[in-house]
Amino acid sequence: MSDVSARVVIVGAGHAGGSAAALLRQYGWQGPITLIGGEPVPPYQRPPLSKTWLHGAGALADLLLRPAAFYRSSRIELQSACNVLAIDRVGGTVRLAQGDDVAYDHLILATGAHARVLPVPGHDLAGIAVLRSLTDADHLRSLIVPGAHIAIVGAGYIGLEVAASARSLGADVVVIEREARVLARVASTPLSDFFQRRHAEAGVGIMLDVTVDAFEGVGGRVAAVRLTDGTVVACDAALVGVGVVPNDALAQAGGLACDDGIVVDRAARTADPAIHAIGDCTRRPLPLYGRTGRLESVPNATEQAKQAAADLCGRAPPPPEVPWFWSDQFDIRLQIAGLPLDVAEIVVRGDPQSGSFAIFHLTGGGVVQCVEAVNAPAEFMAGRMMIARRRPAVASRLRDVSCSIRELAG
Ligand code: FAD
């Protein structure tokens, strides 16, 4: 067991870092905890940024993971608006942008990810937004006004969630996607078809199989997106939502193994016994799937925060969780459990036209690997249990809505 009176420094005050600090106290850590974050606010939830926050609903206090007073009362020293520039693993310190060094006995890297830039001419024109932080969201919110023409590059979750929000706010929206379907990287074809139809019904323009050549501006401000086929899409503002890149440069410069994310084990340990890494910045084992991967989700950030805190406090590791994720668009709540890996068969349960259905992904042996549930919380819960149990399911019974989903999971 670790010396629970030692000094823990956490770099990155986002979902993972904020959760780890709180869990360390909950699990009995007595020593100093310093939580250092580059943003000017305490740890907050990012999911609302593409959803309710764009509608102007809620205050900052509603976004925060915990009230600011929690850190004081829990003896967690929160240093906001403070970037860490380097790690000295030999000396056991981190160097702050302000010039000070902060000493650690244990370091937790929770540096998250940043929005990928589209490397085309004009990408830095005014009126082009990305969406990762609260500052980004406030910028985007100022651009989405009724009647504005908004071009969204990328039909992933961020792009589609913002499209739904912007449309509800009365903006004119066009989504520009390189792949042949929306959500191509992250969802099955039936799910893509469903979302594509719902967005089209709501008046969102969707352009597929097209590539951005450049952003064109007038007076330094974006006025159009030019595609490689010569099409010009006029716009007043644009959002680029083409994925994220893990913030692993600090770890790399410190000599830690990185492979599109900081490489960690099941307890969120790096190869350095004094350093853990958690959240979007990591490449982690996926025990149910026999491989490693990078997960970008709140449940993953929380799970790895538990792993690191339990490991440091000498507690039993938390049981491996089935990865899960959610997305809200219009009146649709999508919940996904598991990952669509090694899939031989896809089973659709329910009628997509009804707006409530689920898609189960099975291996050749019938083991459920993933469920995509649209306004279908019972199927989501049942699917999660089936994924964890690894027992083969019978596809014809899953498809048959007269078979109780609870009995199938039981
Ligand atoms: P982050 O929350 O990104 O926190 C990392 C923090 O580290 C940042 O504050 C960053 O400034 C700071 N940092 C980085 N480098 C340094 C440094 N050198 N020094 C100091 N600080 C540093 N997930 C879901 O499960 N469901 C959803 O519906 C969903 N919707 C989302 C909507 C949006 C708009 C966004 C942006 C994300 C969404 N996500 C969603 C993803 C989820 O928010 C992330 O997976 C989660 O925030 C990851 O937590 P993290 O702590 O690893 O990273």
- pLDDT, one tens digit per residue, over 113-159 is 999 999 999 999 999 999 999 999 999 999 999 999 999 999 999 99
**Percentage of residues of the chain with pLDDT beyond 90:** 96
b vs e for 44-65, b when ≥16 Cβ sit within 10 Å of the residue's Cβ? bbbbbbbbebbeeeeeeeebbb
CATH topology of domain 128-242: FAD/NAD(P)-binding domain (3.50.50)
CA–centroid distance, 295 to ligand 1, in Å, is 11
- 279 neighbors 308 (Cβ within 8 angstroms): no
In the prediction, which pLDDT does 410 show?
81
Residues with CB under 6 A from ligand 1: 11-17, 36-39, 46-47, 49-50, 83-84, 110-113, 131-132, 158, 247, 250, 279-281, 296-299, 301, 325-327
CA–centroid distance, 395 to ligand 1, in Å, is 37
**Percentage of residues of the chain with pLDDT beyond 70:** 100
With CA atoms as reference, report the closest residue to 335 among 323, 349, 347: 323
Mean pLDDT of 79-98: 98
In the prediction, which pLDDT does 57 show?
75
Residue in 10, 15, 23, 46 to alter for ligand 1 test, most ligand atoms within 8 A of Cβ = 46
pLDDT(1) > 70: no
Estimate to the nearest angstrom the gap between the alpha carbon of 71 and the chain centroid. 24
CA–centroid distance, 319 to ligand 1, in Å, is 23
In the prediction, which pLDDT does 58 show?
82
Among protein residues, the one whose CA lies closest to atom 44 of ligand 1: 297
- Among left, alpha and beta (phi > 0; psi -120 to 50; other), residue 334 is beta
Q: Which amino acid is at 81?
A: A
Confidence bin at 8 (pLDDT 50/70/90): very high
Among protein residues, the one whose CA lies closest to atom 47 of ligand 1: 15
Residue extents of the structural domains in the chain:
8-114+245-313, 128-242, 331-409
In the prediction, which pLDDT does 391 show?
86
Same fold, 8-114+245-313 and 128-242: yes
Running DSSP on this structure, what letter comes out for residue 264?
-
CATH topology of domain 8-114+245-313: FAD/NAD(P)-binding domain (3.50.50)
Q: pLDDT tens across 192-244, in order?
A: 999 999 999 999 999 999 999 999 999 999 999 999 999 999 999 999 999 99
CATH architecture, range 331-409: 2-Layer Sandwich (3.30)
Enter the pTM of the model. 0.97
pLDDT(56) > 90: no
